[in-house]
Structure 1
Amino acid sequence: MPEPTSVPAPPVTVSRPVSEALLNEKWDRCISNMLIKSTVGLGFGIVFSVLLFRRRAWPAFVGVGFGAGRAYEECNWSLKQASQELKRKA
């Protein structure tokens, strides 16, 4: 007599509220954007430091600051837009 085949149980998924999932997505994008823009700013700062400013350190720090500041502003705008969208839906 053949043995009955066992069917695996479907995976249990925890559904998060839409607002939490949206917020997590926005924060992930903000953090990655901050890392990328700060690194690009650091790169430009190093290049300008070597080429124009006789190997001073301040252009690299200014580049990181500009990159991080731009990423912060984009993140702030993105989170405000998400907040407004959620308020309109509610």
Structure 2
Amino acid sequence: MAPSANSEDALAKTFDSCVADTIIKIGGGMATGVLFSLFLFKRKSWPVVFGVGVGAGMGASNCQYKLNVPFMVRADQIKVMGTTANVKDSSSEIPV
């Protein structure tokens, strides 16, 4: 029997993916800034700093979304076990 996942483990996994995603985006922004600096802006440093800032902002935004989105069960994960004939439709009842 597999142990159930704790909420701390899920949060740690999400945070680890956020950190990895942010590092990748910062690296991509830095690489793009270096290329723009070398070929278009006569070796100025501001395109590199701008690229790092954009990468950090994108990583932080993605991390904020991942941490704030509620846990949602996707439709392909739902399994129907059988019919429920004894369930009443509560929307048709009128409260007294």
Q: What amino acid maps onto 2:26 in structure 1? A: S
21, 35, 46: which one aligns with 1:58: 46
In structure 1, which of residues 21, 43, 56 is the aligned counterpart of residue 9 of structure 2? 21
Amino acid at match of 1:33: D
The structure where helix makes up a greater share of residues is: 1
Instruction: Determine which of 37, 61, 71 is the counterpart of 1:85.
Output: 71
Letter in 1 for 2:38: V
SS at match of 1:77: helix
**Equivalent residue for 1:35, pick from 19, 23, 32:** 23
Q: Percent of counterpart pairs with the same letter?
A: 36
Residue 16 of structure 1 deviates from its aligned partner by: 5.9
Offset, 1:21: 1.0
Partner Cα separation in structure 2 for residue 42 and residue 30 of structure 1: 18
> 2 CA distance for matches of 1:21 and 1:53?
46
- Show the counterpart of 1:49: 37
How many residues end up aligned between the 2 structures? 70
Q: Deviations over 1:29-79 (max 9, x none)?
A: 011111110001000000000111000000000000001100100000000
Amino acid at match of 2:37: S
Normalised by the length of structure 2, the TM-score is 0.68
Instruction: Give me the CA root mean square deviation.
Output: 1.7
Segments of 5+ residues of structure 2 without an aligned counterpart are: 73-96
**What TM-score, normalized by structure 1, do the two folds share?**
0.72
